[in-house]
Amino acid sequence: MKIKKQIVLAAVLCMAVPTVASGCANSAKSGVEALEAGDYKEAQAQFEKLTEEKDKKKSAEGYRGLAMTYYEQEEYSSALDAFKKAVDTGVVQTTQIYNLMGICAMKTEDYEAALEYIQAGLAMAETDMSGEEEKNSENGKDSAEMIQEMRYNEVVCYEKLADWENAKQKASEYLIEYPEDTAMEREAEFLETR
């Protein structure tokens, strides 16, 4: 699953941030290794240790790892809560975090919140287009696919909220950008009946 690859990659990258306390570094490394191995109980235990750190940056990374662990287990409400704590505690905010928060909110059928997260992520992506993420073609491709997914989910959220005009507008904009997407073509046809 593509999103799993992105999550594990994000976990590896966020936990690779240099840490001063060796216990914290070990918890981060052990948590990432456990997450990659599918040992969610161990990953959760390691990331929970990080959340207890006095250093807010380390604690925020613990919440982020914890969120990814919950996400992998399809515990979307818990994942969203952990992502919120990570953001509130000061984790580096990325387009990917907001995409995952949007997906979690959609999975819990909170489409208003999902729309807010998706739009925040898309706004962030627009300002980051010249950033480091885009310089690596592999990451640039992953980022482009994630943005496409976010734009698609934006249409879905408007539809679930019965905001037909905005759903039609966003579907039209989406098809201009991604004309090959037959699923959205069918969605746009459906929206025209509303």
168 and 78, same structural domain? Answer: no
Amino acid at 153: N
87 and 125, same structural domain? Answer: no
86 and 111, same structural domain? Answer: no
144 and 192, same structural domain? Answer: yes
- pLDDT for 126 equals 86
Per-residue pLDDT tens digits for 1-49: 455 555 544 544 454 444 434 445 688 888 999 999 999 999 999 999 9
The answer to whether the CB of 124 falls within 8 A of the CB of 93 is yes
- pLDDT for 49 equals 94
- pLDDT for 19 equals 42
Per-residue pLDDT tens digits for 98-151: 999 999 999 999 999 999 999 999 999 988 764 544 444 445 657 899 999 999
Task: With cut-offs at 50, 70 and 90, classify the pLDDT of residue 192.
Answer: confident
64 and 52, same structural domain? Answer: yes
105 and 190, same structural domain? Answer: yes
The C-alpha atoms of residue 87 and residue 58 are separated, in whole angstroms, by: 12
To which residue do tokens 């905005």 refer? 166
Count structural domains, the chain.
2
Domain that holds residue 34: 1-92
